[in-house]
Amino acid sequence: MKLNYETLQDKAQWEKEGFELPKFDIKQIKENTLKNPTWVHFGAGNLFRAFIANVQQDILNKGKSDKGIIAVEGFDYEIIQKTYQPMNNLGVVVTLKANGDIDKTIVGSVVESLVLNSAEKSSWDKLKQIFSAPSLQMASFTITEKGYSLQDAQGEYFASVENDFKNGPEAPVSYIGKVTSLLYTRYLANKAPIAMVSMDNCSHNGDKLFSAVEAYAKAWEKNGLVEKGFYDYITDKDTVSFPWSMIDKITPRPDEKVKVMLQKSGFDDVETIITSKNTFVAPFVNAEEAQYLVIEDWFPNGRSNLEEAGIIFTDRETVDKEFDLEAIGVSLELHKEIMKDETIREVLMPEYSSIGYSYNISSYPTDIPEIRKAMSYAVDKEVIAPISEPGMVAGDMYSLGLPPSLTSNYVDETFLDTLEKYTYDIDTATELMESIGWTKDGNMWVDQNGESPEIVIGTIGEWTATLVTGEAISEMLKDFGFNVTFKPMEVVTFYEFANSGETNLAVDFYPSSVSIQHPYEAYNSLWGVAPRMGIDLPGYGEKFEFVNPESGETFDWGEKTELLFNANTHEETTELVKEFMQFSNDMVLSMPITEKFIVTRIHNPKLVLAEVEMGTPVLDYYWTQGKNYHLAKMLRDGKLYFISSFHYTYVKYRE
């Protein structure tokens, strides 16, 4: 069965194979929409298809709307050209339910698909016509947080942005430049109100979209490229709004097992397409059932009744609170329900969470210390951190093996100044490559044999933070001249692949695989990630030793971690931490990228954890190690008797 309007006429065949079909007249909905459009969406990827388009489908099925969505893609035009238009904009959503059931839904709520390309007259003219329509209520976006960024790491505007600032709204080339040009079209046509709704998973997302659009409006008006009054139109809160929202939906790339399942159902259009921009798309999307979207109710031209499909509209303060709760693993509604029970109290454990990439120190060419150092210098961590996940800051720049939030408890700047700091420095990276005899052949680094060995970077493709960091690292290393292969994959597949030793860089949470509060936990966690670093673990009674590539001295990791565990004073701990830091800095076992610190919050005076101020060391081992250790100790000691949830922990305490 092919996916198009014609084959949908044979409803019996589709329903026999278990597909749920649209319960509305698609052609009539399309006619209504194009005549009086109300909703255009930018970012036609998997999240849009699996969640947002499916929400509107639900409302249409209930007969609560008579209009669909116009989908627009501005980054990768092949998504529209290869997976939308050939299928009459239809798509299949495969929902993996918590009870193991699988739903197969043909989504027909997308009635038009266009590319955001000012050079393609047909699409551009249609978009201008859509934005001129007084009926248009909302333009929504899922273009990732980096889609709103106009500047590079040095704070300089990208060339495409600079050019659009100078050339005006006639033929923009940058993404937000094209969006702002369409808003100017609306301004010239009728100055009608509209809501610009970012649905990307980043805190205060509406502000990010507003700041980007405002920059163009300000530059164009300043340069005399638009009518005076356009900037006021953009910034008038009663005319153009930029609501905040919070979204939660996991939509991995098309899964091979789902593809096979669909083929067995007689569905033919299942081939995954890898576009020239390395986007993985298919006529179907697969996702888990859980989903959540909360939007600030700020729509100056009216809005769709999305609450009919479970979307929550509320005030800005609640959206902000919702984002905080979502980031730690619980919904606002669940939080409210649980807190009705007065015997339940909330506990949020402290966590120093780090995302980094472990080097395989046994696999060529990352077995060469100079290569590891050059790679660390060639990646701009300060650019990657803010776009990886809300609340993330740049991680450990020294490759110390300790989260930055704890570093100042043991050493000061004087000590750190004696170490190498792996900040972004292409010149130093180049010097390191040349020091071992590597040379440039065109844009590629080659070794003494004239070869450019493959560097495999593996990451978890299902998690936004790991996918974004892995992709960014890969692109930066390619730009520097390394022969990089980037391999995002499912969690289970990733760990099996990484531990096989086939990667040169693998995403990891070393040194924060638990809620780190003591350096022993950080350095002891090397044992858990050793296989993907190409490190052979010692047998019983054997030493766990390394040779420092700088000094040539032997460093007994096993002995040092035991001494660190048994250190009785802060001074003893500090001296051992300095040894670990020096060795880790010389060895460069990992490339830390980000850190996020979550504070302790306790809403129960009868349930007290260690009374420690944020950023100070915890010396009592009762309160060290991860959350599970804390809770296990309290259960053992009769301090509590019920635990629920994941990051955000609810407990019933004993009187």
Cα angle 234, 236, 237 (rounded to 5 degrees) comes to: 110
Q: Is the pLDDT of residue 338 over 90?
A: no
Distance of CA 312 to the CA centre of its chain: 23
Per-chain mean pLDDT for the chain: 85
How confident is the model over 125-146, as a mean pLDDT?
Answer: 95
The torsion angles phi and psi of 556, rounded to 5 degrees, stand at: -90, 95
Q: Is the pLDDT of residue 332 over 60?
A: no
pLDDT for 508 equals: 81
Better-predicted residue by pLDDT, 206 or 613? 206
pLDDT for 37 equals: 97
What is the side-by-side order of every strand in the sheet holding 194-198?
110-115, 69-73, 39-42, 138-141, 194-198, 240-241
pLDDT for 520 equals: 84
Residue closest to 402 by CA, chosen among 578, 147, 177, 196: 578
Q: Is the pLDDT of residue 175 over 90?
A: yes
d(C-alpha 166, C-alpha 440), whole Å: 36
Count CB-CB contacts under 10 A for residue 292: 17
Contacts of 158 (CB under 8 A, 6+ apart): 150, 151, 152, 174
What does the pLDDT look like over 517-557, one tens digit per residue? 678 878 888 887 888 899 988 877 788 899 999 899 999 99
**What's the pTM?**
0.59
At residue 490 the predicted structure's pLDDT band, cuts being 50, 70 and 90, is confident
pLDDT for 637 equals: 72
How confident is the model over 5-19, as a mean pLDDT?
Answer: 91
The residue behind tokens 């040379």 is 439
For the CA atoms of 412, 418, 423, 429, what is the dihedral angle to 10 degrees?
A: -170
pLDDT for 119 equals: 94
d(C-alpha 110, C-alpha 324), whole Å: 32
Contacts of 352 (CB under 8 A, 6+ apart): 403, 405, 406, 512, 515, 516, 517, 595, 597
Q: Is the pLDDT of residue 650 over 80?
A: no
How confident is the model over 326-353, as a mean pLDDT?
Answer: 51
d(C-alpha 211, C-alpha 217), whole Å: 10
Q: How many residues does the chain have?
A: 655
At residue 623 the predicted structure's pLDDT band, cuts being 50, 70 and 90, is low
What does the pLDDT look like over 601-619, one tens digit per residue? 333 434 444 454 544 555 5
d(C-alpha 453, C-alpha 473), whole Å: 17
Q: Is the pLDDT of residue 341 over 70?
A: no
Cα angle 425, 427, 431 (rounded to 5 degrees) comes to: 120
**Mean pLDDT lowest among 286-295, 460-469, 616-625:** 616-625
Contacts of 16 (CB under 8 A, 6+ apart): none
d(C-alpha 115, C-alpha 96), whole Å: 30
How confident is the model over 163-188, as a mean pLDDT?
Answer: 97
Q: Is the pLDDT of residue 27 over 60?
A: yes
How confident is the model over 582-608, as a mean pLDDT?
Answer: 69
pLDDT for 167 equals: 96
Better-predicted residue by pLDDT, 605 or 197? 197
Q: Is the pLDDT of residue 100 over 50?
A: yes
Beta-sheet pairing, 312-314 with 292-296: parallel
Beta strands in 167-279 (DSSP E): 194-198, 240-241, 245-248, 273-274
Distance of CA 69 to the CA centre of its chain: 25
Residue 445, beta-bridge partner list: 440
d(C-alpha 624, C-alpha 626), whole Å: 7
Q: What proportion of the chain, given as a percentage, has pLDDT over 90?
A: 55
d(C-alpha 143, C-alpha 198), whole Å: 8
Q: What proportion of the chain, given as a percentage, has pLDDT over 70?
A: 84
Count CB-CB contacts under 10 A for residue 6: 9
Better-predicted residue by pLDDT, 192 or 593? 192
**In 444-567, which ranges are continuous DSSP H helix?**
464-480, 491-499, 519-524, 526-529, 557-566
pLDDT for 499 equals: 86
What does the pLDDT look like over 36-67, one tens digit per residue? 999 999 999 989 999 999 999 999 999 999 99
Count CB-CB contacts under 10 A for residue 267: 21
How confident is the model over 304-331, as a mean pLDDT?
Answer: 73
d(C-alpha 65, C-alpha 24), whole Å: 10
